[in-house]
């Protein structure tokens, strides 16, 4: 009898007498204990390395209360001009970067789909995607601010670059999962490469592409609220200033506006997605 | 033992599922409830244990008026009514033993059940029941590793572990092949005899109902149109219940279509779309 | 209908009806003019002199970044460790908080519609605000350091994990839940036996996925003072030490690739 069967038999015997315990998640006890001890050791080490300046925290508690009360009474008025200008910049950056990003993502996505592009093109496109996806928007924004100067142009290029990575990856995956019979059916009619793309590939990926673009629009807006921190324009700069001046009521107003716009985006994007499917 | 009087169920949509049901079930009687799809069979047995709230009427189990119970008292009443489902309703990712033991949930506290520390007699009884339904070797298998017939046996063991006075059985054979169906019906019948259980069995298959039940009740459009012994069920009666059909030539059971798989894939699609956000 | 008759009485096929066609043209026109308008706003706010200079600036930047100052890497191990801790501890705390929120937000497990809308509100606020903004807030409240980073990551994760999790809860199979309720189980027991096993794979997948995202996000939290390798990044940029910046970039790149790989492996094993 194998050890497995003996184990089963002994568990059945025990259960007959009323003793039963759930099987452990990890069968091998050495692994089970090893992983448990590893987790505990990591937690101890990690928590030990977190330095907390309690005096500073206590000092900040008052500010936390101020901030929470600011949310009850947000101040939309006293910095209205800054807020409006920041928002306008954020929104324009969001829109232009999404459009440019999606347009540029299409060739990159086609190139990064293994089933329709040659190896060198594939590698280059995958490289672009990897770089764009790995680095946070804000890091890329730092570089573009150095290159293009402060202002929304750097922000727009940053967001467009991030959009390329995001969209191209998903597009490439879509194309790789394509229903190949449809493509062959169109090819069999004697269609050229462009015609094949237009009649067999595009209809299959289009609904998801539109859905993802709308989704990315939403992400780009959220990101446009932070890249201002490093000088790439948008509402983030306004927010940063108000926080560093401890103007919590203005900061609260900006955050509420961001939440409202994101909600609006999400609501409309779910509609758009339903409509495209 | 179980008395329904004037039970009416109207759904919020205005559909009348049950109209003025009068029914008395003595101890130890196995009653088959037949009728076309949508006649209110499922609603009726779900009203008994209040998975569906009846709109009007009274339901008495022995001395307890079930329709007025809530909270703890309702849970205690539910303990004494075991339910067996069409789609077995096992929790797929739990082991067979855990599924059977979940029949005891009404008797043990939360932490005991959370840590799976069931009382010794509950485990012993669960194992005895698994032996009785012929699955003692499967205690550590996951429920989704079993065949349909085996799952239904686990479902029966779970219901019996509640030490019920009454079994509510909802289409026990609709997802099973004819042979397994008969085995399951025979098992339910035997178990009811062993434990002097009363049972209400919803069933589509008239032949099975006639073979295994003490009494047959026909339901049509939410009203009782037949109540009698199995051999009193004539072709004319069947026409009253189901509508016009040549009953002597087509004793075909009408199967409900099996429920679709849960759309679990969507969660991970959502993850993929989350991308670099 | 797309098929109509030409004046000669021959059937003609168009892809869309005339009205739909016009609507589509109008939508395109509107979209393009909106885009151009936005472009104008951006270009008005841009100093084009700097932009003309961009190529030279870029190549200048590149020449300063290369070759990377490799010995700087030895300073980075501790910040990297901090970054990992921010991501891991932050994810852990975030998940713990997201879990009850998700149950309160899911239509089929919420105790009351009012509670549901509060839980949804929590999720939306957490999701709308980037972890960097959370970090900025927390740094002014708690002071700079790893703690602010951990909490920022946790707060941001609540919304993400909470949303995906409550969607998973809403999609569970209802019959096992019904069956467990029928045994006379309490509400908590129904959650434990009927709901929890069904969402466990999704939950594990979501958590690992969020951990992977959090590694990326925690690399930059230092820019606003919330600890981790971002602090070094900020310092190096302020000192214009671009050859150190490139070392940091390479380390971030490597860490993110590894965490992505781990996350993909774990999710693959779960599904």
Of C178, C188, C197, the CB nearest to B51: C178
Tens digit of each residue's pLDDT (9 = 90 or more) over B56-104: 888 988 888 888 888 888 888 898 999 998 888 888 888 899 999 999 9
* Contact yes or no for A18 and B139 at CB 8 A: no
- By residue count, chain C amounts to 271
**The tokens of A10 are what?**
């002994």
Q: Pick from C202, B157, C128, C14: which is nearest to A219 by CA? A: C128
C63 has a pLDDT exceeding 80: yes
A contacts of C41 (beta carbons < 8 Å): 88-89, 92, 152
Mutation site for C-interface testing, chosen from A47, A53, A86, A96 by largest number of C Cβ within 10 Å: A96
C182 has a chain B CB within 8 A of its CB: yes
A214 has a chain C CB within 8 A of its CB: no
Chains that touch C (3 or more CB pairs under 8 A): A, B
B250 vs A150, residue with greater confidence: A150
- Core vs surface per residue A75-98: b (16+ CB within 10 A) or e: beeebeebbebbbbbbbbbbbbbb
* Contact yes or no for C171 and B263 at CB 8 A: yes
Tens digit of each residue's pLDDT (9 = 90 or more) over C141-193: 888 888 889 999 999 999 999 999 999 999 898 889 999 999 988 888 999 99
Of C46, C88, C124, the CB nearest to A152: C46
C contacts of B200 (beta carbons < 8 Å): none
* Contact yes or no for C164 and B267 at CB 8 A: yes
Q: B-contacting residues of C 194-213, CB under 8 Å? A: 194, 197-198, 200-202, 205-206, 209, 213
Could you tell me the pLDDT band of residue B256, with boundaries at 50, 70 and 90? very low
pLDDT (0 to 100) of residue C8:
63
pLDDT (0 to 100) of residue A267:
81
- Counting one residue from chain B and one from chain C, the pairs whose CB atoms sit within 8 A come to 119
* Contact yes or no for A50 and C39 at CB 8 A: no
> For the packed helices C229-238 and C77-105, what is the interaxial angle rounded to 10 degrees?
120
Mean pLDDT of all residues in chain A?
A: 83
pLDDT (0 to 100) of residue B132:
87
Q: Pick from A234, C183, A140, C146: which is nearest to B104 by CA? A: C183
CA distances from C255 to C4, C160, C234, C242, C252 (A): 61, 22, 18, 20, 5
Q: Tokens 């790893």 map to which residue?
A: C146
Q: Tell me how close the Cα of C40 comes to any Cα of chain B, in angstroms.
A: 28
B contacts of C156 (beta carbons < 8 Å): none
pLDDT (0 to 100) of residue C16:
60
Tens digit of each residue's pLDDT (9 = 90 or more) over B81-92: 999 988 888 888
Q: What is the pTM of this model?
A: 0.81
B contacts of A169 (beta carbons < 8 Å): 275
| Average pLDDT of span A231-255 | 83
* Contact yes or no for B77 and C179 at CB 8 A: no
* Contact yes or no for C202 and B268 at CB 8 A: yes
Could you tell me the pLDDT band of residue A174, with boundaries at 50, 70 and 90? confident
Torsion of CA B32, B38, B39, B45, to 10 degrees: 50
* Contact yes or no for A262 and C140 at CB 8 A: no
A6 has a pLDDT exceeding 90: no
C101 has a pLDDT exceeding 90: yes
Q: How many CB atoms lie within 10 A of CB B171?
A: 22
C92 has a pLDDT exceeding 90: yes
- Lowest-confidence pick of B113-117, C8-12, C170-174, C219-223: C8-12
DSSP per-residue letters across A145-168: HHHH-SSHHHHHHHHHHHHHHHHH
Instruction: Report yes or no: C80 and C247 within 8 Å, Cβ to Cβ.
Output: no
Instruction: Report yes or no: B75 and C184 within 8 Å, Cβ to Cβ.
Output: yes
C261 has a chain A CB within 8 A of its CB: no
pLDDT (0 to 100) of residue A222:
86
C146 has a chain A CB within 8 A of its CB: yes
Of B81, B266, B268, the CB nearest to C205: B268
pLDDT (0 to 100) of residue B159:
92
- Please list, in sequence order, all residues whose beta carbon lies within 8 angstroms of the beta carbon of residue A171, skipping any fewer than 6 positions away: A105, A106, A109, A110, A112, A113, A205, A209, A212
* Contact yes or no for A63 and C223 at CB 8 A: no
A168 has a pLDDT exceeding 50: yes
A contacts of B121 (beta carbons < 8 Å): 18
- Cα–Cα distance for residue pair C179/B111, rounded to 1 Å: 20
- Please list, in sequence order, all residues whose beta carbon lies within 8 angstroms of the beta carbon of residue B165, skipping any fewer than 6 positions away: B1, B27, B61, B62, B80, B81, B197, B198
C15 has a pLDDT exceeding 70: no
pLDDT (0 to 100) of residue A116:
76
Q: Pick from A97, A169, A94, A107: which is nearest to A133 by CA? A: A169
Q: Tell me how close the Cα of A256 comes to any Cα of chain C, in angstroms.
A: 9
Tens digit of each residue's pLDDT (9 = 90 or more) over A188-220: 887 777 787 777 777 777 877 888 888 888 888
Of C42, C61, C142, the CB nearest to A147: C61
Torsion of CA C124, C128, C133, C139, to 10 degrees: 10
Mean pLDDT of all residues in chain C?
A: 85
C46 has a pLDDT exceeding 80: no
A214 backbone φψ class: left, alpha, beta (φ>0; ψ -120 to 50): alpha
Tens digit of each residue's pLDDT (9 = 90 or more) over B196-215: 889 999 988 888 888 888 99
C contacts of A71 (beta carbons < 8 Å): none
Q: C-contacting residues of B 166-185, CB under 8 Å? A: 168
**The tokens of B4 are what?**
């329904």
DSSP per-residue letters across C160-185: HHHHHHHHHHHTS-HHHHHHHHHTT-
Tens digit of each residue's pLDDT (9 = 90 or more) over B227-249: 888 888 888 888 888 877 766 65
A22 has a chain C CB within 8 A of its CB: no
Tens digit of each residue's pLDDT (9 = 90 or more) over A98-107: 989 998 988 8
Could you tell me the pLDDT band of residue B261, with boundaries at 50, 70 and 90? very low
B255 has a pLDDT exceeding 80: no
Mutation site for A-interface testing, chosen from C43, C46, C241, C253 by largest number of A Cβ within 10 Å: C46
């Amino acid at each position: 009898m194998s050890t497995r069967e003996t184990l089963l038999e002994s568990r059945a015997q025990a259960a007959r007498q009323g003793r039963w315990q759930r099987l452990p998640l990890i069968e091998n006890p050495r692994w089970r204990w090893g992983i448990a001890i590893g987790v505990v050791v990591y937690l101890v080490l990690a928590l030990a390395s977190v330095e907390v300046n309690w005096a500073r925290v206590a000092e900040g508690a008052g500010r936390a209360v101020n901030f929470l009360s600011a949310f009850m009474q947000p101040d939309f008025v006293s910095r209205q001009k800054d807020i409006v200008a920041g928002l306008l910049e954020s929104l324009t950056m969001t829109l232009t970067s999404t459009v440019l990003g999606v347009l540029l993502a299409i060739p990159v996505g086609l190139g990064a789909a293994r089933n329709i592009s040659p190896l060198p093109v594939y590698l280059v496109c995958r490289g672009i995607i990897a770089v764009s996806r790995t680095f946070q928007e804000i890091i890329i924004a730092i570089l573009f601010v150095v290159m293009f100067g402060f202002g929304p142009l750097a922000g727009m290029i940053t967001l467009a670059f991030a959009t390329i990575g995001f969209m191209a990856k998903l597009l490439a995956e879509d194309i790789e999962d394509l229903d190949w019979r449809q493509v062959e059916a169109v090819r069999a009619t004697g269609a050229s490469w462009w015609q094949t793309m237009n009649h067999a590939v595009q209809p299959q990926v289009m609904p998801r592409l539109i859905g993802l673009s709308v989704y990315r629009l939403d992400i780009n807006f959220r990101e446009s609220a932070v890249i201002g921190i490093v000088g790439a324009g948008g509402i983030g700069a306004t927010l940063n200033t108000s926080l560093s001046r401890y103007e919590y009521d203005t900061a609260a107003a900006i955050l509420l506006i961001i939440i409202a716009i994101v909600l609006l985006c999400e609501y409309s994007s779910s509609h758009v997605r339903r409509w495209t499917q | 033992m179980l008395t329904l009087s004037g039970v009416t169920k109207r759904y919020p949509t205005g559909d009348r599922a049950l109209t003025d049901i009068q029914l008395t079930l003595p101890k130890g009687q196995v009653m088959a409830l037949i009728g076309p799809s949508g006649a209110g069979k499922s609603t009726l047995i779900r009203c008994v244990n209040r998975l569906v709230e009846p709109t009007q009427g009274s339901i008495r189990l022995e001395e307890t008026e079930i329709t007025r119970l809530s909270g703890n008292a309702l849970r205690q009443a539910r303990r004494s009514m075991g339910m067996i489902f069409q789609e077995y309703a096992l929790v797929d990712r739990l082991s067979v033993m855990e599924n059977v033991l979940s029949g005891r949930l009404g008797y043990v506290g939360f932490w005991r059940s959370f840590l799976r520390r069931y009382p010794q007699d509950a485990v012993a009884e669960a194992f005895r029941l698994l032996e009785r339904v012929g699955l003692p070797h499967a205690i550590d298998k996951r429920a989704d590793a079993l065949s349909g017939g085996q799952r239904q046996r686990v479902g029966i063991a779970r219901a019996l572990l509640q030490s019920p006075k009454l079994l509510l059985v909802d289409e026990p054979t609709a997802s099973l092949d004819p042979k397994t169906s008969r085995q399951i019906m025979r098992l339910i019948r035997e178990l009811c005899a062993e434990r002097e259980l009363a049972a209400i069995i919803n069933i589509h298959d008239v032949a099975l109902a006639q073979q295994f039940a003490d009494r047959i009740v026909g339901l049509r459009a939410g009203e009782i149109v037949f109540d009698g012994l199995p051999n009193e069920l004539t072709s004319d009666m069947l026409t009253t219940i189901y509508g016009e059909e040549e009953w002597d030539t087509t004793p075909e059971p009408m199967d409900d279509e099996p429920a679709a798989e849960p759309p679990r894939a969507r969660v991970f699609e959502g993850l993929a779309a989350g991308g670099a956000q | 209908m797309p098929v109509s008759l030409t004046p000669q009485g021959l059937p003609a096929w168009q892809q869309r009806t005339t009205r739909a066609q016009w609507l589509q043209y109008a939508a395109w026109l509107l979209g393009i003019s909106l885009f151009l308008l936005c472009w104008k706003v951006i270009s008005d706010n841009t100093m084009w002199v700097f932009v003309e200079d961009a190529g030279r600036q870029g190549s200048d930047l590149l020449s300063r970044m290369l070759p990377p100052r490799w010995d700087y890497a030895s300073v980075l191990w501790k910040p990297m460790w901090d970054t990992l801790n921010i991501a891991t501890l932050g994810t852990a705390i975030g998940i713990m908080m997201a879990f009850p929120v998700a149950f309160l937000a899911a239509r089929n497990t919420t105790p009351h519609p009012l509670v549901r809308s509060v839980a949804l509100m929590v999720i939306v606020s957490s999701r709308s605000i980037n972890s960097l903004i959370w970090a900025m807030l927390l740094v002014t409240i708690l002071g700079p350091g790893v703690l602010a980073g951990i909490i920022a990551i946790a707060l941001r994760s609540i919304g993400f994990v909470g949303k995906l999790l409550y969607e998973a809860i809403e999609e569970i199979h209802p019959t096992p839940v019904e069956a467990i309720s029928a045994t006379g189980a309490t509400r908590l027991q129904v959650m434990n036996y009927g709901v929890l096993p069904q969402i466990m794979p999704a939950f594990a997948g979501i958590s690992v996925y969020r951990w992977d995202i959090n590694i990326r996000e925690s690399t930059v939290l230092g820019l606003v003072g919330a600890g981790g390798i971002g602090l070094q990044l900020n310092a190096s940029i302020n000192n214009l030490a671009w050859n150190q910046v490139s070392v940091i970039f390479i380390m971030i790149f490597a860490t993110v690739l590894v965490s992505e790989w781990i996350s993909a492996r774990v999710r693959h094993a779960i599904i």
